[in-house]
Amino acid sequence: MDIGLIGLGNMGAGIAKSLLRAGHRVVVYNRTQSRAEALRGDGAIVATTPADACRGEVVLTMLADDYALELLVFGPLGILASLSPDSIHVSSGTISVALSDRLASEHTKAGQKFVAAPVFGRPDAAEAAKLVVVAAGPSDALARCKPIFDAIGPKLLVIGEKQSLANVVKLSGNFLIACVLESLSEAIAFARKSGIDAATLVDFLTSTLFNAPVYKTYGGLIVEGNYDQVGFALPLGRVCDRRRCDRANRESPCRSCHSLFGCEREIPTEVASTTMSARIRVMGLTAATEGSPEGHQTAPYRLIIS
């Protein structure tokens, strides 16, 4: 297929490589052009404007948030103005339900197709074509996009024709991942303070009661103190998902979100400007205080997204 791909961050670059390995013609665009140039050696064609990435049958976007996608789609040289009739915009980033609905409406008015296809998986999974895709949109558009989904991951859930349903699934999954990070961090901090080897604890729990990839992956990262393998920047998490959840449930915001994210102490500014990995750290793994010779304690901070 002739595919444009816009947004070459940690996830987008990996997706581009997977598409290229599968034999697709991929035209890439990124605001920081050096990221696009880095893929030229893999066979990508580098576009100089977003419009240049919209000449093919499909343009796939993997952008940080609603604001970035709105600028790209609705700008004068954006996707809406550049995509030809009957071509498809596939949005794979984490966006709000409201924006997904707006995109579906505006693309339909322009005679274009819109498919919401957010993904689950870390950057290494994107590059290894092991993402989990949740897709929704018109059945004919989904069928045309199937080669793309096959190229980036082995698991596809088609949730319906209403595009924003896929975004609801993505936000639900992100909320659960945040809960896993919080609970794992507190449990490991408690066990360590009590003298239990964290690796032994995590190995036992993830091979019995919590035998799931998310517990194994993040449990391993926590035990190893591996805070540098960043998949999602902390400022994005702080800003994005709480707002998206609240927008999706405006009349009755999720009380569970408030219990986890609306806690008594926010992460300090110097931490909030770092990464998701720092979020794990402040949730109880390595925070040392006076009178705690082991160097481990229950976290003084809670995960907050606001």
pTM, two decimals, is 0.79
Least confident of 59-68, 71-80, 267-276: 267-276
Whether residue 261 is predicted with pLDDT greater than 50 in this model: the reply is: no
Distance CA 156, CA 117 (A): 9
Distance CA 188, CA 182 (A): 10
* Mean pLDDT, residues 62-73 taken together: 96
Token readout for 298 is 């229950």
Task: Give the tens place of pLDDT for each residue, 195-228.
Answer: 999 999 999 999 999 999 999 999 999 999 887 7
Is residue 83 a contact partner of residue 89, using CB atoms and an 8 Å limit? yes
Q: What is the pLDDT of residue 252?
A: 43
Is residue 154 a contact partner of residue 192, using CB atoms and an 8 Å limit? no
2-162: which CATH topology? Rossmann fold (3.40.50)
- Domain 168-285 bears CATH identifier 1.10.1040.10: yes
- Active site residue ranges: 170
Task: Give the tens place of pLDDT for each residue, 133-169.
Answer: 999 999 999 999 999 999 999 999 999 999 999 999 9
Domain boundaries, the chain: 2-162, 168-285
Task: Give the tens place of pLDDT for each residue, 116-136.
Answer: 999 999 999 999 999 999 999
Is residue 237 a contact partner of residue 271, using CB atoms and an 8 Å limit? no
Distance CA 74, CA 106 (A): 9
**Nearest alpha-carbon partner for 219 in 173, 176, 182:** 182
